Structures are given as C-alpha cells and as structure tokens.
Structure 1
Amino acid sequence: MATRIDPSRTYNFLAVFIGLGEISFSEISGIAVDSDVVDYREGNERFNNVRKLPGLRKFANLTFRRGYTPDDRLWQWYARLANGANERYNGSIVLLNEARKPVMRWNFVNAFITKIDGPMLKAAGNEIAIEAMDIAHEGLTMELESQGA
C-alpha cells in the first residue's frame, strides 16, 4: 500500500534573519520569482519568428505581518537603515509540519526593509494591533528538508 503524502498546512512557519534571530509573524507573503523574457531574432533566420530567451530574474518584496509586541528589533533595524547604514540580512522562511519539524525553506539574501507600518489604532475597535514590514532582497531559493517528512 502506498504511503499517503498530505500537503503541508500554511499556519506552521517561522522566519529567521541571520544576525537578528528568529522572529514570529502571523503572515508572510510575496514568496515569488518572476523572469523577464527577451525577444531575439537574427537577420538570417529562415522563419519570421522571434526566439524567446530568459532575461533577468526579479524577486517580489516579502511582506511580514505580526501582532504588535514589545520586540523592537525590526524598528531598530529600520532606524539604522534610515540613518544611512547598509545593513542587510540573509534569512529563511521555514514551513513546518504538524510536529513542528522543518519541511521546506525559502532562503533569501541581502534583505533590507523598504517599508514598515505601525499598527492601525481605532478607539471603537477590539482588533489586534498589527504591524507590517516589506523587505527587498536579491535572491530566493527553495530547499526541501529531509527530516521534515
């Protein structure tokens, strides 16, 4: 009998910034890579068609959201960037299985904050105070974790 392989759930994950540590988030989006297409044609081509060649790869900004906590590492990082520091971090977004073991990870390189949002405050509401951060990066790779299965 074949072993059943269920897909991973999206609610077990963590984010690790090498140099800042593990930081908890309630939502991460933007795990995406896009590639330009370059049209090319030589003058002596027999057919009147354009060749499609792969161009530059582009990586979407990653967006991290979490409930507001007294942990100010992100705001301190942003403050250093705003004061002229070229402070970039490599890191990983790690998907975990039901036993909280790593299943796969997306590794990003040379990341820096491009936007940080404080919580929306509303006197008549009872929602959780959410802060958000966008980071730009220069590369994204995915790897499977052997111990996660």
Structure 2
Amino acid sequence: MSTYYPPVSFHFKVEFLGITTQENDVQFQSVSGLSVDLETEEFAEGGENRFKHKFPVRTTYPNLVLKRGLLKDSVLIAWCRAAIEGFQFLPIDLTVKLLNEKHEPLLTWNVVHAYPVKWSVEDFNAEESKVSIETIELAYNYFRII
C-alpha cells in the first residue's frame, strides 16, 4: 500500500514575468487569493414553488495578496509605485510555484493580467521585536494551473 503525503505549503516562490529577476523579489512570506468562485443566477419557474433553478453566470477571482519582509530597493515596489502614485498601469503575468524538496515546481499557477491595487506596511510597534512586513495586493483577470 502506497502512502501519499500532500505537499508542504511553505516552500514556494512568485515570479513576475518581465519585471524583475532579483532574488529578493520572488521570496514571500505568504500568498493568498488563489481561489475562484462561480456566480449563479436564480430563476423561479412558474408553477414550481419548491425551489428556484440556479444557473452558472461567471467566475470571479479575489485579489492576490502577497506578504514579505520590507525591502528598501525593489523593482517590484517601483512597479507598484508607478501604478499607485503615477497612475501608470502596466499589467503583467506572474507565476506562483509550489516547490518540492529539490526546489522543483510541483504545481504552478499562472496569474494573468495582474496590476497593483494596494501596498501597505504593518504597524510599527516599539513593544514588539518583529520583522517589518509589507503587503502587496494585486487585481487580476484569472489564473490557470499549469
């Protein structure tokens, strides 16, 4: 009998196609928002009062939220600032790769047409000793699992 162990979720990297190849710009503490919802529309049929028919309408994707330690010099943050401060949007594709113990991709999510919609830094607190975390939030059209 073979035993299957699901992959660990802490070994991953995010690559921004066409923006940066800096090693620090692919390392993140967490990635969230890789989910999809199917919206439905209800239709009441005349004479049938026990239920309403539900029909699929469209898929929706939440924003992709990336968190990492604050970087002073980052090509990715320069791209975000150009969009947020200068209103110069240059949508890109990116990949999120779940890696195995040999640093090889097990699964890859190709996120299409992403652009920044929010950048924030966690609160500074003199009573805590922790790393300063920045959060980048990206809107995107859809993703495909490769």
1:97 aligns with 2:100: yes
In structure 1, the gaps of 5 or more residues are 144-149
Question: Residues of 2 paired with 1:70 and 1:39: CA distance?
Answer: 50
Q: Which whole-Å CA distance do the structure 2 matches of 1:96 and 1:11 have between them? A: 9
Structure 1 contact 68–119 (Cα < 8 Å) conserved: no
2:120 paired residue number: 117
Q: 1:76 is aligned with what amino acid?
A: A
Q: Give the alignment's TM-score, normalised by structure 2.
A: 0.85
- Give, in angstroms, the shift of residue 21 of structure 1: 3.2
> Superposed, which structure 2 residues align to 1:1-149 within 5 Å?
2-21=1-20, 23-41=26-44, 47-48=48-49, 49-82=51-84, 83-143=86-146
CA distance in 1 between counterparts of 2:36 and 2:63 reads: 10
Equivalenced residues, count: 140
- Kept in 2, the 8 Å contact 1:89–1:111? The answer is yes
Q: C-alpha offsets along residues 28-50 of structure 1, whole Å, 9 cap, x if unaligned?
A: 1111101111123566xx74453
Deviation of 1:116 after TM superposition, in Å, equals: 0.4
Unaligned runs of 5+ in 2: none
Deviations 1:73-110 (A, max 9, x none): 23211221131212111111100112211000111111
Percent of residue pairs bearing the same amino acid type: 25
Counterpart amino acid of residue 131 in structure 1: E
Query: Which amino acid counterpart does residue 36 of structure 1 have in structure 2?
Result: E
Conserved 8 A contact 2:93-2:111 = yes
Greater shift in the superposed pair: 63-72 or 26-35: 63-72
CA RMSD of aligned residues (A): 1.9
- Quick check: 1:118–1:130 contact (8 Å CA) kept in 2? yes
Aligned mates of 1:105, 1:127 — CA distance in 2 = 31
Distance in 2 between residues matched to 1:99 and 1:127, nearest whole Å: 30
In the alignment, is the contact (CA less than 8 A) between 2:63 and 2:138 conserved in 1? yes
Conservation of the 8 A alpha-carbon contact between 2:20 and 2:76? no
